[in-house]
Structure 1
Amino acid sequence: MTAFVYLNLTEEAPFTYQKPLLTWVKNQFPEVVTFDLDAASDPMLQSHAQRLLQESRFCLLFLKTGQKRTLGSEMKLLDVLFRKQTGAAVANWGQHPALQTVLQARPSIEFAQGATPEDLYPFLASFLGNSLKTNDVQM
């Protein structure tokens, strides 16, 4: 299984029905399990996101961080990725120096950062496409 978890950590209104990035992932990679939440999501949703990342063979955590400077609620999800030996990636939409520093010390986790979601589409397409091909080969 390949999982895509979208976590919005910005101060903007967290509840929107349409997220173009999630729609793009679902259209391009319908086999990928998607899940989205924000920093204000209740603990049950955060726990579900953690289990999804743990149980998936390949997982991509997409963070929308804006100008965030410290690590907070995303650490629980990052901790799951730190325990994986392979098959984990993080894409960050925004500037997050602390996150960049932490992930540079984790070469087993693929990492990309962009100013817009469109900047990250090639990274997302490569990681998700390759993970689905690998899943197909293993079955």
Structure 2
Amino acid sequence: MSDNSNLCTWLEMKHFEGDIQTRLEKVLKKFDLSPVEFSFLHYLYDQYDSKASLLEIKDSLKLSSAAVSRMAVRLEEKDCKPLIRYHSDENQKEVCLQITTSGIEHFKEAAQEVDRSLNELFSSLDFKKLRDMINSIN
């Protein structure tokens, strides 16, 4: 393998992604959230009416139906009660979730910390080195 710049870049990206994941897990632990739970709340928060069906969430987060259902239960049981479950008016079989007012506040607080951490990581020398590696490909 004479030219392994793509391989090295990919490995550096994986390493940096691991650093981000570790940092976000640590930050979100303070809010009793996992990164996937945070993404779940972000999806609901980002919706116009702050609600979505389990199927919409499943498709958006690329998770199985069972994983989305388990996560919804975990979030429902959290102290801050970030979401509520209900059945759609149009289809009583369709399960929907809505982020609560306390869930919105909890999400916003966590999002500020996540954003602060990401800003630190994306302004680091490691990220600048990775960006330069990506830009130098072809």
TM-score calculated relative to the size of structure 2:
0.29
TM-score calculated relative to the size of structure 1:
0.29
- Higher percent of residues as strand: 1
Query: Which one has the largest radius of gyration?
Result: 2
- Higher percent of residues as helix: 2
